[in-house]
Structure 1
Amino acid sequence: MEEYRMIEKDGKPVEYRLFTYENHVNGWTVRAILNPESEEFSIRTDIGMLEFALIEFITDSFDLFRSMVEERLARIIHDDYVERSRNFSVILKNKGVPDVAWDEFLPDSYQGFRRLVKPNDAVRIINGSYMILAYYDAATRSGLSLMYNVLRDDFFAERRVQNFPHLVHDFDTSSLKELEKALRKRLLPVLDEIAADRDKSLSE
């Protein structure tokens, strides 16, 4: 979708938006922007629980930016955010992630949070990490995400309430078996805690 409009926050310009692709099923977006301060073009991805720039697209040359977008962006969107199994890391496969019956104990929704990511459809993010699980309430920008860093070989989690992040240590481990145990025991209580904080923030 072509936009060609300036986005402002608190009365200040933050990005000139060129176009946006949106997945209407889960609300994820990929957008092309010009930063009015640095005068650099970039691609930013918003998958609900996380927003980040695709650093390989950052440039101050419009011609180079347009060329990279035309040559590479459609494939990246398709492989990384639509047909994610096409780009599933060999390291995750060797870790045994596809072998766990995740649907047996990971509900599709709970306490107003939708499961937007599950381990068999992990999303490549940044810094050598994949998001392997995400429960998200888009209306309040609150939820829980679980990541796996392929460089450190560890799982770690983050919670957000009104988009404000906090680390969650209930799922810190390098063992897939220990992660499964922790999720079976602690996933719903942690989501209950996030829901309580979310609802408290709405009433304040």
Structure 2
Amino acid sequence: MKEFRPLSDQGTDSDYLIFTYENEENGWTVKATLNAATEEFFIRTDIGMLEFALVEFITEDFAIFRRNVESRLPALIRDYYVERQNNFSVLLLNKGITTVAWDDILPEQYKGLQRTVSPNDAVRIINGSYMILAYYDRQTRSGLSLMYNILRDDFFAERRIHNFPNLVHDFDSSDVRVLHDSLKKRLVPVLNAIVADMAEPE
């Protein structure tokens, strides 16, 4: 946990960091911040390929923020980012994503990209989606993420090169079997392209 301190944004203090929890195994963080301009308190999650605010914690009232953090954040961290199966929805389970033998086609690491999310251990993100696969290089902030949106019932992917996002359409589908075949055929070529682009100057 880190103590209260300012986060500089181009020479100005845009946010104050109140505290941080970090998962040492995969580098994920959950942090509390105060925005200097809006005077709002936030809880922000960074899972490498994606950083986002948890909207249910946003407030201008510190007493409310503290109460919500104390009463809700520990269980949220446990269920969202540690024991993630606790947070699997019925729609995700019914899709069959967590029952496939994915390890047969998904390497744990590939040319410096580490697998930080696996389909059998998906993580709930935002907008009705789960991140079901991610390969990430923390040093260059580059990698590939694959999501499943339970509201649209579709799979979609994004790549980041030095944190700049672009959609990847190689794995677009709504069928788990089609997704499996696409990953088997196209994962390595897509990762090779990402690694090649990572080597280019920013």
Query: How many Å apart are 1:201 and its aligned residue?
Result: 2.6
Query: How many Å apart are 1:2 and its aligned residue?
Result: 3.7
Q: Distance in 1 between matches of 2:173 and 2:120?
A: 19
The equivalent residue for 2:158 is 158
Matches within 5 A, 1:15-164: 15-164=15-164
Task: Flag as ranges the 4+ runs of structure 1 deviating above 6 A.
Answer: none
For 1:83, the aligned partner's letter is: E
Whether the 8 Å CA contact 1:43–1:53 is kept in 2: the answer is yes
Q: Distance in 1 between matches of 2:2 and 2:160?
A: 30
Q: Which one is further off, 2-11 or 138-147?
A: 2-11
Q: Is the partner of 1:134 in helix, strand or coil?
A: strand
Q: Give aligned pairs, total.
A: 202
Q: Is the partner of 2:3 in helix, strand or coil?
A: strand
* RMSD (Å), alpha carbons: 0.8
Q: Is the partner of 1:3 in helix, strand or coil?
A: coil
The equivalent residue for 2:4 is 4
Q: Is the partner of 1:200 in helix, strand or coil?
A: coil
Whether the 8 Å CA contact 1:149–1:155 is kept in 2: the answer is yes
Query: How many Å apart are 1:39 and its aligned residue?
Result: 0.5
Aligned residues with identical type, % of pairs: 63
Which ranges in structure 1 are unaligned for 5 or more consecutive residues? Answer: none
TM-score by length of 2: 0.98
Which ranges in structure 2 are unaligned for 5 or more consecutive residues? Answer: none
Whether the 8 Å CA contact 2:133–2:146 is kept in 1: the answer is yes
